Chain A
């Protein structure tokens, strides 16, 4: 099921089968001046069906939102084999927001076979700038100050020193190796607008002690800057085995979250590299370990769980866009109490009373549906 069924540029939507890859949509409508906005790092391979199941985001969701904000409709096959069309061509759907409920439900409410996704006009241009900082605090406060100044860039990506080194060794993107933290900030618009916006952002960065500034001067340089970031996971895999966590924290708690992530991993004797979407607080700590060392593998999992519990404690959540699945189901009790989990299970049961779709995921085992 990997066909694009309909492209309607006047009404700005595409109707696609669930197995279409994320990038295939943007590639199909790109020549006409449109794109599909959510852009997870895996967009070359991941499918729209999977994006809907996990409500995927991406680097550019600060401006354009995540999957649920870019979806107009889905066709859902229920457990009984009935077909439910939710939403459609219109911008709002009638009745309960079943579209919002299905999005991010990890395949537990039905099987999505088709989706109607919104298409967005491509900006005239986009340009990233790269900032290096001597301290994590300066970088984090710079992010807060940019938003506080009324500027919402399309992307604000953060990398710490270990992540910078890993990515630079792999992608040769020209990242500064002597800084503690790096931001990639991208703005969109006409050349004049981009220039004006980067000037404002540059002044804010200066006030926050930025040490290295590199504004992209060409499309090739922009691609290079992004290549380093987008290859972070693959590049890390060449250095060591790793598990990637996906907790989110309120952006004001980022410095504290980063410090505590470092401390937690150090207490297990493990290294960690941080690369994440700074604008939305969705952290992606990569905890490095040796998969052939059973002891280290257990430690990595324990460290990961401790990091996620910290995210919840700071007012965030267990998972921003990767989903709960099996890995995090036993941690659900850290974020929700029994009454809340029972409510969620009853909602699920309205679609699937016996829990036959993706069983044993999301909800802790050993508890019966209320």
Chain B
């Protein structure tokens, strides 16, 4: 393969896309390469990496707003905002364990994959925290979307359209994101030994409470402990967290024992949820991320039977992580079960051969696919950018 293009400026991106377009070639858009394992596998193509376009452009703590170049690592952004007691509200996933890659996720990759962590039910996904984007479309044109303010309905929301678009509509060059204050304290209530149904019931009660639960997850037995664990997180000012933890604990007291962990021990638990650490090994298994209504989670997971070699819940049951054999049979079983639970499944990790044989993302309806192709055409009529990464022709 020819050496990757590493533009340092937006003008270089424009030039590279133009050259590819005129030359009739296609480009693979990557950042640091941390997310390279996601999506339909590609033929050998010239890579365009945004990694050399890095740096924070502006950071206004009092506005809780930051703008940076797409190649800036998420870690660098988190370090810069931590100095002002702030954080990324949506807890973007670090898929190190899952794909066995040491590469640091970049801002561009975070936006393009839209993989939000445990705080999703309370504060939204990555797409909810992106205020504006700058990108170069497949016509080699620079397009600004959105802006730096939270309220903005000026024209079509191309910002959200590009979140989770896996770089198929444009090469992201800059993003402006909304931040949140880093909570002074966190406490996790840990409830041992609940089965899937009881766990979802407890999480649903907690998420429907007025106590501001900012994480609700369930680890099966064998994931870090010999027994299953239902986790409920509270964050905020220390006195308030203490108060709410006590009242939440009594609220779910009838489910059994309720233990508390705080500080770093609690934070470490949520990192393992966010990064799907306990499901990453053995590394030859396929890993699925299934979105559905929480009340359908237990039946879905149990219904998978022996197809599911391991599974755990995030988002109070609204997100089910499943490990299966890397086989087409297992893939169709997961898709069938997800569809009958009115949910949708993404094949997060699998060998190229499986990702070439089955759809990686939930197949859209005929109309949905037609519209998706139309949108792809509107940004990238010649299919220069990550062509076929999401669907055939998209």
Which residues of A does B touch, CB under 8 Å?
Answer: 8-13, 33-34, 54-55, 57, 61, 65-66, 68-69, 78, 82, 84-85, 88-101, 103-106, 121-124, 144-145, 147-152, 189-190, 192-193, 196-197, 248-252, 277, 280-282, 315-324, 328, 332, 335-336, 339-341, 343-344, 346-351, 362
User: Residues 152-166 of chain B: 1 if any A CB is under 8 Å from the residue's CB, otherwise 0?
Assistant: 111111111101110
Complex Cα–Cα for A124 and B248 (A): 13
Q: Is the CB of B371 within 8 A of A251?
A: no
Separation in Å of the B303 CB from the closest CB of chain A?
Answer: 17
CB-defined contacts of B163 to chain A, threshold 8 Å: 97, 100
CB-defined contacts of A93 to chain B, threshold 8 Å: 291, 344
Q: Is the CB of A320 within 8 A of B148?
A: no
Q: Is the CB of A91 within 8 A of B85?
A: no
Which residues of B does A touch, CB under 8 Å?
Answer: 60-65, 84-86, 114, 116, 120-121, 124-125, 127-128, 137, 141-144, 147-161, 163-165, 180-182, 184, 204, 207-210, 212, 237, 239-240, 243-244, 291-296, 315, 318-319, 342-344, 346, 361-362, 364-365, 367-368, 371-372, 374-375, 377-379, 390-391
Q: Is the CB of A248 within 8 A of B204?
A: no
Q: Is the CB of A317 within 8 A of B343?
A: no
List 30 contacting pairs A-B, 8 Å CB cutoff, sorted by A: A10-B294, A12-B208, A54-B153, A65-B124, A66-B150, A69-B128, A90-B342, A91-B120, A91-B315, A91-B318, A94-B291, A94-B361, A94-B362, A95-B364, A99-B160, A104-B157, A105-B157, A147-B63, A148-B62, A150-B85, A150-B184, A196-B237, A196-B240, A252-B63, A317-B152, A319-B154, A324-B155, A335-B154, A344-B155, A349-B378
Complex Cα–Cα for A11 and B368 (A): 25
CB-defined contacts of A152 to chain B, threshold 8 Å: 180-181
Chain B residue at minimum C-beta to C-beta distance from A91: B318
Q: Is the CB of A101 within 8 A of B161?
A: yes
CB-defined contacts of A344 to chain B, threshold 8 Å: 155-156, 158
CB-defined contacts of A69 to chain B, threshold 8 Å: 124, 128
Chain A residue at minimum C-beta to C-beta distance from B243: A192
Q: Is the CB of B207 within 8 A of A97?
A: no
Q: Is the CB of A89 within 8 A of B161?
A: no
Complex Cα–Cα for A324 and B328 (A): 49
9 nearest CB pairs, A to B? A100-B160, A350-B374, A320-B151, A150-B181, A89-B293, A346-B378, A94-B362, A144-B62, A90-B291
Complex Cα–Cα for A12 and B216 (A): 14
Complex Cα–Cα for A346 and B209 (A): 44
Complex Cα–Cα for A15 and B190 (A): 33
CB-defined contacts of A339 to chain B, threshold 8 Å: 141-143
Complex partner residue of B182 from A150, A250, A281, CB under 8 angstroms: A150
Complex Cα–Cα for A277 and B149 (A): 12
Separation in Å of the B358 CB from the closest CB of chain A?
Answer: 15
| A148 and B61 in contact, given A84-B368, A95-B361, A277-B151 (Cβ under 8 angstroms) | yes
CB-defined contacts of B156 to chain A, threshold 8 Å: 101, 104-105, 344, 347-348
Complex partner residue of B344 from A8, A94, A318, CB under 8 angstroms: A94
Complex partner residue of B243 from A65, A91, A193, A249, CB under 8 angstroms: A193
Separation in Å of the A74 CB from the closest CB of chain B?
Answer: 13
Complex Cα–Cα for A319 and B243 (A): 41
Complex Cα–Cα for A190 and B85 (A): 24
Complex Cα–Cα for A320 and B318 (A): 31
Q: Is the CB of B209 within 8 A of A121?
A: yes
The binding surface of chain A is classed by DSSP as loop
Separation in Å of the A276 CB from the closest CB of chain B?
Answer: 10
| A101 and B157 in contact, given A248-B149, A251-B62 (Cβ under 8 angstroms) | yes
CB-defined contacts of B243 to chain A, threshold 8 Å: 190, 192-193
Separation in Å of the A329 CB from the closest CB of chain B?
Answer: 10
Most B-side CB within 10 Å, residue of A13, A150, A189, A192: A150
Q: Is the CB of A316 within 8 A of B147?
A: yes
Q: Is the CB of A97 within 8 A of B182?
A: no
| A250 and B293 in contact, given A97-B161, A97-B164 (Cβ under 8 angstroms) | no
Complex Cα–Cα for A189 and B121 (A): 18
Complex Cα–Cα for A121 and B346 (A): 29
Q: Is the CB of B293 within 8 A of A95?
A: no
Q: Is the CB of A100 within 8 A of B157?
A: yes
Chain B residue at minimum C-beta to C-beta distance from A351: B371
Separation in Å of the A204 CB from the closest CB of chain B?
Answer: 12
CB-defined contacts of B148 to chain A, threshold 8 Å: 250, 315-316
Separation in Å of the A72 CB from the closest CB of chain B?
Answer: 9
| A82 and B367 in contact, given A54-B153, A321-B151 (Cβ under 8 angstroms) | yes
Chain B residue at minimum C-beta to C-beta distance from A196: B239
CB-defined contacts of A100 to chain B, threshold 8 Å: 127, 157, 159-161, 163
Complex Cα–Cα for A114 and B65 (A): 33
CB-defined contacts of B65 to chain A, threshold 8 Å: 250
CB-defined contacts of B365 to chain A, threshold 8 Å: 84-85
CB-defined contacts of B361 to chain A, threshold 8 Å: 94-95
Most A-side CB within 10 Å, residue of B84, B164, B204: B164
Chain A residue at minimum C-beta to C-beta distance from B364: A95
Chain B residue at minimum C-beta to C-beta distance from A84: B367
Complex Cα–Cα for A90 and B142 (A): 34
Separation in Å of the A171 CB from the closest CB of chain B?
Answer: 25
Complex Cα–Cα for A160 and B367 (A): 50
Most A-side CB within 10 Å, residue of B62, B148, B315, B362: B62
Separation in Å of the B251 CB from the closest CB of chain A?
Answer: 12
Q: Please name 10 further chain A to chain B contacts, defined as beta carbons within 8 Å, in addition to the given A11-B318, A90-B318, sorted by A numbering.
A: A78-B367, A89-B343, A91-B315, A98-B161, A189-B240, A249-B149, A250-B60, A251-B62, A343-B158, A349-B378
Separation in Å of the A162 CB from the closest CB of chain B?
Answer: 23
Q: Is the CB of A320 within 8 A of B152?
A: yes
Q: Is the CB of B158 within 8 A of A319?
A: no
Q: Is the CB of B62 within 8 A of A252?
A: yes
CB-defined contacts of B292 to chain A, threshold 8 Å: 89-90
Chain B residue at minimum C-beta to C-beta distance from A92: B291
Separation in Å of the B120 CB from the closest CB of chain A?
Answer: 6
Complex partner residue of B154 from A61, A68, A101, A324, CB under 8 angstroms: A324
Complex Cα–Cα for A282 and B318 (A): 33
Separation in Å of the A88 CB from the closest CB of chain B?
Answer: 6
Chain B residue at minimum C-beta to C-beta distance from A149: B181
Separation in Å of the B341 CB from the closest CB of chain A?
Answer: 9
Chain A residue at minimum C-beta to C-beta distance from B205: A10
Chain A residue at minimum C-beta to C-beta distance from B236: A193
Q: Is the CB of A96 within 8 A of B158?
A: no
Complex Cα–Cα for A320 and B150 (A): 8
Most A-side CB within 10 Å, residue of B150, B163, B181, B212: B150
Chain B residue at minimum C-beta to C-beta distance from A57: B151
Separation in Å of the A12 CB from the closest CB of chain B?
Answer: 7
